[in-house]
Structure 1
Amino acid sequence: MAARSLSIVHTAMYDAWAAFDATALGTRYRGNLRRPATEHTAQNKSAAISFAAYAALLDQFPAQKALFDARMSALGLNPAQARHDAGTPEDIGTIAALSVVADCHHDGANQLGDLSPSGLPYADYTGYAPQNPAMLVLQPTPLAAIPAPGRWQPLTFRDASGVLVTPGFAAACWPRVAPFALRTANQYRPGPPAAVGSAEYAEQARYLLEVQLALTERQKAMTEYWAGGTTGELPASYWCQFAQFVSARDGHCDDEDVKLFFALANATFDAGIAAWDAKVHYDSERPITALRYLMNGEQIQGYGPAGPAEGLRIIDGAAWMPYQAASFPTPPFADHVSGHSTFSAASAEVLRRFTGSDAFNHAVTVKAGSMRYEPGLPSNDVTLHWSTFSDAADEAGISRIYGGIHFVNADSAGRSLGRQVGALAFDRARQYWTGVA
């Protein structure tokens, strides 16, 4: 959903900008909003972009209107100036955004809740139902509670407020969302996960167990950082932050930024659709189900139901926990493929193609004692540095293996899927701004 919102906002901004460019085509009106060359000024572009962003953000996050109003005021702009019936930059930006928004209200995401019986925004309307009953994470899981090994299983756990929750499969309808560049959600669908009973199935579980036993503080810091750290960031927004770094590094003007973020946001949007196509199609179990099934009754070293906070100890395999907070042990959707891997590989592909180089040279620091999974860690500041965009994408993917919430195959398949989606989305975006779409 976050990737979709970013796509809507940046597409609206791009369409508004395109009206003040001599060549670019908008995604909705194509060249029909184009203004005379004498109006193609930086000031007009900036105003149109801002009004487009304002209208799109209001649709996506209506409760934050006061924040958006304050930002417009700080820019010296008045939202009331948009009349929708004149050719001012204010009007062009608003018209462009409203067209994008109108289409997205019927793109299959169920933003308005009109497709589902519950009427809730983004609620599933496909009739998806898990083949396993919910697993009570707080206690060992008997084999009888996993009647369909290999298939996704909902989890029951206490959230950060102490409430017992059982999240359903998030965004089960996402393969039905209309994409930006993909022809279909399954255009690049990867092969299946390891089959239950196969040697690969058992080996991937043993490997994950061994990885967690050998985690270093640096790997633990990677795991928390890419999981959102203390801010709860999601992959698509992380990569937009990285693009902001690139913009400052390379001295972008509005023209360059509008194109970069248009391509990047739509690549992450399509990456989400492609990843969720695989997740829903294969309906594959997460490691917590596989390890509790395979190692049921076996004495192993690992994290128990309380999670990393209590450290590694000897437990029954039926109680195994990933390296995640006990209040959110695993995201509520299938393993195959990794969303982090897909989003990140797609983003890296766009940034590499847009800048003409894989060079990134960016770093973030995880402060000593700032981790939530194991309070007090890391012992010292940990700096995560990425020489290339590819390095950052690879680290995002492997962090989910360190965290025990994805198998290796889900990561590698996600990386491959993301690269294909990113290349396709970038080419499509470039067709728009070069006027050949």
Structure 2
Amino acid sequence: RAMSEYYYSDKELFTDFMKELGLDPYNNTLDPTTPEGIGNLAAKAVIEARHGDGANQYGEEEGSQNKPYHNYIGYEPVNSADENVDPNRWQPKYFSDGKGGYFAPGCLTPYWDKVKPIGLKSADQFRPGPPPMIGSKQLEEEVAEVIALQANLSDHDKALVEFMRDGPQSVQQAGHWLKFAQDVSRRDKHTLDEDVKMYFLNQVVAMDAFIASWDSKMFYDYARPYALVHKYYENEIIKAWGGEGKGMMEIEGKQWRPYSPETFLCPPFPSYVSGHSTISGACAEALKLWTGSDEFGEKVTLVAGALTEPDNLGDTVVLEFPTFTKTADMAGISRVMGGYHIQADNVAGLQLGRDVAREVWKFYKEHTGEL
């Protein structure tokens, strides 16, 4: 019910899934003596509580032109895809449309910092200090690090980048941590009550972490490595990934690109802080707090390159996640390896996420009667 409300374009998918489970997607009862009624009442309460929360899910915010999820704050990047007038600021980049053409997507949900948090006092409660600017030694070193990491990607590195990438049509990073939470549930043989509490904490933390991350992203409007490498190494010859079917090769710096498919080269919004790092730091800390231990112990097996360069597959790789903290760190560094972020984005994002989780933990304990 709630998913269909907010992700209305996927309503048919949710309906079909309910049918696969042997459930009636059209049962709208509000009878609290039935399981369906309790579910519908819970969805109704959430939908009503979040109405007008700033997410603009109904196109009702001033400036939204009655378009759901429309950019109602009027944000426009200072740089265009064709001209970078301020290299410290975010620049849109051209993607392939998969049909022989190219387009430069605008900033995705630039207003998300305006969304009302659940457990935080405000979106900027833990806003980090500024990122390194053009001309600083730190930025020079971190851009060089991005180039070096990509030039030396091992099969294990590629597999990690791909597993954590979470681009379009994926579970996204919050969904990734829901799946990790499912692993915990199976491992620890949870009761229904335990699952309800754990998933509640996990996703309230993810929600607020996204809001906090977007506060930093939109406040600093910071450049991504895609543009920064071009700025620092424009006419220099560097070793880098040349694109699908080309592998590692020597290219001019202005041709450098992240380790990603042509159709989704780089997330279309400012860089600082890394959303992956923020969400991973937050959800990892939440699971650590909830279970009372940092132990995780999961692993996944995948073929390096399968999601990026299927004509140049690497070895089968086993990614091991011994602890929640290590898993978050791996998610964060994967974004630097992939060329989507510099290290400053990652480090500040992980810390921001952990700060969010500790604050939401207090909210959780208040609402479960544990304080």
TM-score relative to the length of structure 2: 0.92
- Does the 8 Å contact 2:78/2:86 carry over to 1? yes
Aligned residues: 370
Alignment counterpart, residue 367 of structure 1, candidates 290, 303, 318: 303
What secondary structure does 2:56 align onto? coil
Deviations 1:121-171 (A, max 9, x none): 212111211111114xxxxxxxxx321110000112313343321111111
Q: Partner of 2:88 in structure 1?
A: 150
Contact 1:230–1:372 under 8 Å retained in 2: no
Q: Distance in 2 between matches of 1:409 and 1:257?
A: 35
Deviation, structure 1 residue 233: 3.0
User: Given the alignment of the two structures, is residue 347 of structure 1 paired with residue 286 of structure 2, yes or no?
Assistant: no
The residue type equivalent to 1:365 in the other structure is T
AA of the residue aligned to 2:129: G
- Label 1:183 to 1:297 Cα distance change in 2 as closer, same or farther (>3 A): same
CA distance in 2, matches of 1:70, 1:290: 44
Flag the 1:184–1:299 CA change in 2: closer, same or farther, 3 A: same
Alignment partner of 2:104 out of 166, 178, 187: 166
Task: Provide Cα deviations, 1:221-252, integer angstroms capped at 9, x if missing partner.
Answer: 11111113896331111110111111111111
Q: Which residue in the other structure is 1:218 paired with?
A: 156
Aligned partner of 2:44 in structure 1 is 98
Read off the aligned partner of 1:415 and give its amino acid letter.
L
Q: 1:30-179 to 2 correspondence within 5 Å?
A: 55-65=1-11, 68-69=14-15, 78=24, 82-84=28-30, 88-115=34-61, 116-135=63-82, 145-179=83-117
Which residue is equivalent to 2:368?
A: 433
Letter paired with 1:232: S
Change in CA separation of 1:149 and 1:246 when aligned onto 2, cut-off 3 Å: same
Determine the structure 2 residue equivalent to 1:419.
354
Match of 2:268 in 1: 332
The alignment status of 1:205 with 2:140, answered yes or no, reads no
Deviation track 1:279-309 (CA, whole Å, cap 9, x = no partner) reads 00000000011111111222222234xx253
For residue 72 of structure 1, report the CA deviation from its aligned partner: 5.0
Identity of aligned residues (%): 39
Asked if the contact 1:267/1:347 (under 8 Å) is kept, the reply is yes
CA distance in 2, matches of 1:231, 1:86: 35
Could you list the per-position Cα deviations for residues 189-211 of structure 1 after superposition, in whole angstroms to 9, with x for gaps in the alignment? 11111011111121211121111
Correspondence for 2:330: 395
**Partner Cα distance (2:169, 2:72) in 1:** 30
Pairing 1:283–2:221 present: yes
Alignment partners' CA distance in 2, 1:99 and 1:425? 20
Alpha-carbon distance between aligned partners in 1 of 2:169 and 2:49, rounded to the nearest angstrom: 31
Q: 1:430 to 1:295 in 2, by over 3 A?
A: same
| Over 4 Å off, 4+ runs | 63-83, 85-89
Distance 1:328 1:149 in 2: 21
Q: 1:252 aligns with which of 185, 190, 211?
A: 190
Q: Write the letter of the residue equivalent to 2:194.
A: E
The corresponding residue for 2:319 is 384
CA distance in 1, matches of 2:26, 2:161: 45
Structure ID, larger Rg: 1
Distance 2:92 2:144 in 1: 22
- TM-aligned CA deviation for residue 173 of structure 1: 0.1
* Contact 1:308–1:323 (8 Å) recurs in 2: no
- 1:364-398 CA distance string (max 9 Å, x none): 001366342353322x2100011111111110000
| Superposition deviation, residue 84 in structure 1 | 3.4
**Residues 369 and 134 (structure 1 numbering): CA distance in 2 closer, same or farther, change over 3 Å?**
closer
Q: Secondary structure at 1:280's aligned position in 2?
A: helix
Residue-by-residue CA offset, 1:14-41 (whole Å, 9 max, x unaligned)? xxxxxxxxxxxxxxxxxxxxxxxxxxxx
TM-score (norm 1): 0.79
Farther off after superposition, 221-230 or 386-395: 221-230
Counterpart of 1:326, as a letter, is E
Q: Secondary structure at the match of 2:74?
A: coil
What are the Cα deviations for residues 85-119 of structure 1, in whole angstroms up to 9, with x where unaligned?
Answer: 76555434323321210222311011112224443
Shift of 1:212: 1.3
Q: Gaps (5+ residues) in structure 2?
A: none
Q: CA deviation at 1:67?
A: 5.1
Q: CA deviation at 1:335?
A: 1.2
- 1:267–1:350 CA contact under 8 A, matched in 2: yes
1:320 Cα deviation from its structure 2 partner: 1.5
